Chain A
Amino acid sequence: MFNEIYDVIVVGGGHAGSEAAAAAANMGSKTLLVTMNLQNIAQMSCNPAMGGIAKGQIVREIDALGGYSGIVSDTSAIQFKMLNKSKGPAMWSPRVQSDRMRFAEDWRMLLEQTQNLDFYQEMVSGLLIKGDKVVGVKTSLGVEIKAKSVVLTNGTFLNGLIHIGDKSFGGGRAGEKAATGITEQLVDIGFDSGRMKTGTPPRVDGRSLDFSKMIEQPGDDNPEKFSYLDITKPLTNQRSCHMSYTSPLVHDLLREGFDRSPMFNGRIKSLGPRYCPSIEDKINRFADKDRHQLFVEPEGWNTVEYYINGFSTSLPEDVQFKALRSVAGFENVKFFRPGYAIEYDYFPPTQLKHTLETKLVNGLYFAGQINGTTGYEEAASQGLMAGINASLKVQERDAFTLKRDEAYIGVLIDDLITKGTEEPYRMFTSRAEYRTLLRQDNADLRLTPKGFKLGIASEKRLKRMEEKHESAKQFVSFFETTSVQPSEINPILESKNSSVVKQSGKLFKIFARPNIEMDDIRNVKSVEDYIQQNNLDREVIEQAEIQVKYAGYIEKEKNNADKLNRLEYVKIPANFDYSQIKSMSFEAREKLKKIQPTTVSQASRISGVSPNDISVLLVYMGR
Chain B
Amino acid sequence: MINNDTIVALATPSGAGAIAVIRLSGENAITIAQKQFKSVSGKQLTKQPTHTIHLGHIVDDTRTLDEVLVSVFKNPNSYTGENVVEISCHGSNYIQQEIIQLFLRNGCRMATAGEFTLRAFLNGKLDLSQAEAVADLIASDNEASHQIAMQQMRGGFSSEIAKLREELLNFASLIELELDFAEEDVEFADRTQFKDLTARILSVLKRLIDSFAVGNVIKNGIPVAIVGEPNVGKSTLLNALLNEERAIVSDIAGTTRDTIEDEISIGGIGFRFIDTAGIRDTKDVVESIGIKKTFEKIEQAQVVIYLFEADVFVSDTKKSKLLNIEIEKIKNKYPQKPLLIIANKSDKLSDVQFSELNKALIHISKTGKKTQAQMLSAKTNHGVEQLKNTLLSFVNTGALKNNDTIVTNTRHYDSLLKALEEVQKVKYGLETGLSGDLLAIDIRQALYYFGEITGEISNDDLLGNIFANFCIGK
What chain B residues lie within 8 Å of A86 (beta carbons)? Answer: 435
Q: State whether B437 touches A87 (Cβ < 8 A).
A: yes
A553:B112 contact, CB within 8 angstroms: no
Q: Whose C-beta in chain A lies nearest to the C-beta of B464?
A: A274
Interchain CB contact under 8 A, B138 and A604: no
- Say whether, besides A282-B473, A286-B471, A614-B1, A515 and B176 are in contact (CB < 8 Å): no
Report the Cα distance A363→B227, complex, angstroms. Answer: 82
Q: How far is the CB of A196 from chain B (nearest CB, A)?
A: 16
Alpha-carbon distance A213/B407, docked complex (angstroms): 61
Q: Separation in Å of the B439 CB from the closest CB of chain A?
A: 9
CB distance from B186 to the nearest CB of A (A): 10
A53 at the interface (CB under 8 A from B): yes
The CA-CA distance from A419 to B460 in the complex, in Å, is 11
Whether B134 and A619, one on each chain, are in contact in the complex, defined by CB atoms closer than 8 angstroms, is yes
In A582-623, the 8 Å CB interface with B consists of 583-584, 604, 607, 610-612, 614-616, 618-620, 622-623
Within 8 Å CB of A517, what residues of B? Answer: none
User: B180 contacts A616, CB within 8 Å?
Assistant: no
Binds B, one of A183-191, A347-355, A428-436: A428-436
B473 engages A277 (CB within 8 Å): yes
Q: Is B284 an interface residue (CB 8 A)?
A: no
Q: Is B472 an interface residue (CB 8 A)?
A: yes
CA separation between A612 and B138, bound complex, in Å? 9
Interfacial chain A residues near B85, Cβ < 8 Å: none
**Cα–Cα distance between A579 and B185 once the two chains are bound (Å):** 49
Q: Is the CB of A53 within 8 A of B179?
A: yes
Main secondary structure on B side of the interface with A: helix
Chain B residues positioned under 8 Å from A578 (CB to CB): none
CB distance from B190 to the nearest CB of A (A): 16
Q: Which of A276, A289, A583 contacts B473 (CB 8 A)?
A: A276
In this assembly, does B42 line the interface, its C-beta being within 8 Å of a C-beta of chain A? no
Q: Specify the chain A residue showing the minimal Cβ separation from B460.
A: A607
Question: How many Å from the CB of A208 to the closest CB on chain B?
Answer: 22
Contact A292–B459 (Cβ < 8 Å): no
Tell yes or no: A514 within 8 A of B by CB: yes
Q: Check A395 for interface membership: any CB of B closer than 8 A.
A: no
Q: How far is the CB of B151 from chain A (nearest CB, A)?
A: 18
Are the CB atoms of B112 and A88 closer together than 8 Å? Answer: no
Residues of B within 8 A of A419 (CB): 460
Interface residues of B in 167-197 (CB under 8 A from A): 176, 178-185
A134 is an interface residue with CB less than 8 A from chain B: no
For residue B242, CB closer than 8 A to chain A, the reply is no
Query: Hey, which chain A residues are within 8 Å of B432, CB to CB?
Result: 514-515
Given A614-B1, A620-B135, A436 and B112 touching (CB < 8 A)?
no
- Pick the residue among A282, A581, A607, A610 that contacts B471 (CB under 8 A): A282
Stretch at the interface among A3-11, A318-326, A365-373, A563-571: A563-571
Chain B stretch 429-462: residues in CB contact (< 8 A) with chain A: 432-438, 440-441, 444, 455, 457-460, 462
Contact B1 A429 (CB under 8 A): no
The CA of A622 and the CA of B129, in the complex, are separated in Å by 11
A583 touches B139 (CB 8 A): yes
Cα(A530)–Cα(B135), bound, Å: 61
User: Do the beta carbons of A514 and B459 come within 8 Å of each other?
Assistant: no
Given A607-B460, A616-B139, check contact A87 B435 (CB 8 Å).
yes
- Cβ B438 vs Cβ A553 within 8 A: yes
Digitize A542-585: 1 where CB-to-B-CB distance is under 8 Å, 0 elsewhere: 00000000100100110000010011001000000000010110
**1/0 contact string of B399-441 vs chain A (CB within 8 Å):** 0000000000000000000000000000000001111111011
Chain B hits for A618, CB < 8 A: 2, 118, 121-122
In the complex, whether B3 has a CB less than 8 A from a CB of chain A is yes
Residues from chain B with Cβ under 8 Å of A282 in the complex: 471, 473
Decide if B114 touches A429 in the complex (CB within 8 Å): no
Interchain nearest-CB distance for B314 vs A (Å): 63
Interface centre among A557, A616, A619 (most CB of B within 10 A): A619
Q: Is A90 an interface residue (CB 8 A)?
A: yes
User: Is B216 part of the binding interface, using a Cβ–Cβ cutoff of 8 Å?
Assistant: no
B 366-408 to A, binary, CB cutoff 8 A, 1 in contact else 0: 0000000000000000000000000000000000000000000
- Which chain A residues border B122 with CB–CB below 8 Å? 570, 618
Residues of B contacting A567 in the complex (Cβ-Cβ under 8 angstroms): 1-2
Q: Least Cβ distance of B125 to chain A in Å?
A: 12
Complex Cα–Cα for A277 and B142 (A): 44
B349 within 8 A of A: no
Say yes or no: B131 contacts A610, CB within 8 Å.
Answer: no
Chain B: CB-nearest residue to A614: B1
B467 and A275 contacting across the interface, CB-CB below 8 Å: yes
A83, CB-defined interface residue at 8 Å: yes
Within 8 Å by CB of B131, from A53, A433, A619, lies A619
The residue on B at minimum CB distance from A243 is: B185
Q: Is the CB of A431 within 8 A of B437?
A: no
Q: Is the CB of A566 within 8 A of B2?
A: yes
B223 to chain A, nearest CB (A): 34
Indicate with 1 or 0, residue by residue over A383-423, a CB within 8 angstroms of chain B CB atoms.
Answer: 00000000000000000000000000000000000010000
Report how far A616 CA is from B460 CA in the complex, Å: 24
Between A274, A570, A584, A618, the greatest number of chain B beta carbons within 10 A of the residue's beta carbon is seen for: A618
B244 interface hit (Cβ, 8 Å): no
**Smallest beta-carbon distance B375→chain A, Å:** 55
Task: Tell whether B463 is near chain A: CB-to-CB under 8 Å.
Answer: yes
Task: Please state if A431 and B463 are interface contacts (CB–CB under 8 Å).
Answer: yes
A622 and B128 contact, CB distance less than 8 A = yes
**Pair B437/A436 contact, Cβ less than 8 Å:** yes
Query: Does A293 count as interface, using CB distance less than 8 angstroms?
Result: yes
A54 contact set on B, CB distance < 8 A: 180
Q: Is the CB of B138 within 8 A of A619?
A: yes
Which residues of A lie under 8 Å from residue B34 when comparing CB positions? none
Is B473 in contact with A83, judged by CB distance below 8 angstroms? no
Q: Scoring A residues 107 to 139 as 1 if CB is less than 8 Å from chain B, else 0, what string do you get?
A: 000000000000000000000000000000000
Q: How long is the Cα–Cα vector from A299 to B454 in the complex, in angstroms? A: 51
Q: Which residues of B contact A431 (CB under 8 A)?
A: 459, 463
A430:B180 contact, CB within 8 angstroms: yes
Docked Cα-Cα span, A623 to B126, in Å, equals 12
C-alpha gap A483/B471 in the complex (Å): 50
- Evaluate whether A615 and B114 lie within 8 angstroms (CB atoms) in the complex, with A88-B437, A274-B472, A515-B433 already known: yes
Note all chain B residues with C-beta closer than 8 A to A556: 441
The answer, yes or no, to whether A310 is at the interface (CB within 8 Å) is yes
Does the CB pair A611–B1 fall under 8 Å? yes
B117 within 8 A of A: yes
Asked whether B471 lies within 8 Å of A433 as measured between CB atoms, the reply is no
Contact across chains for A435 and B437 when beta carbons are under 8 A apart: yes
Q: Is the CB of B474 within 8 A of A309?
A: yes
Residue-wise, chain A 72-83 has the 8 Å CB interface mask toward B (1 for contact) of 000000000001
Tell yes or no: B4 within 8 A of A by CB.
Answer: yes
The 0/1 profile, CB within 8 Å of B marked 1, for residues 290-321 of chain A is 00110100000000000001101000000000
Chain A residues with CB below 8 A from B434, complex form: 514
Smallest Cβ-Cβ distance to B114: which chain A residue: A615
Known contacts A88-B435, A610-B455, A620-B131; A429/B179 CB under 8 A: yes
- A430-B180, A431-B463, A567-B2 known; A91+B136 contact, CB < 8 A: no
Known A53-B180, A620-B132: A293·B437 in contact at CB below 8 Å: no
**Whole-angstrom distance between the alpha carbons of A614 and B440 in the complex?**
26
In the complex, what's the smallest C-beta–C-beta distance from B6 to chain A, in angstroms? 13
B10 on the A face (CB < 8 A): no
Whether a CB of chain A sits under 8 angstroms from the CB of B113 is yes
Q: In the docked arrangement, what's the CA distance between A598 and B180, Å?
A: 30
Q: A310-B474, A566-B4 are in contact. Are A550 and B438 (CB under 8 A)?
A: yes
The contact sample of 12 A-B pairs, CB cut-off 8 A, is A293-B184, A293-B185, A295-B474, A430-B176, A430-B459, A431-B459, A433-B444, A583-B138, A611-B112, A612-B142, A619-B131, A623-B128
Identify 17 new A-B residue pairs, CB closer than 8 A, beyond the known A282-B473, A430-B180.
A83-B183, A275-B473, A276-B473, A282-B471, A293-B185, A293-B474, A295-B474, A429-B437, A435-B437, A566-B3, A581-B135, A583-B135, A611-B112, A612-B139, A612-B142, A618-B121, A623-B132
Q: Which 3 A-B pairs have the closest CB atoms?
A: A583-B139, A286-B471, A619-B135
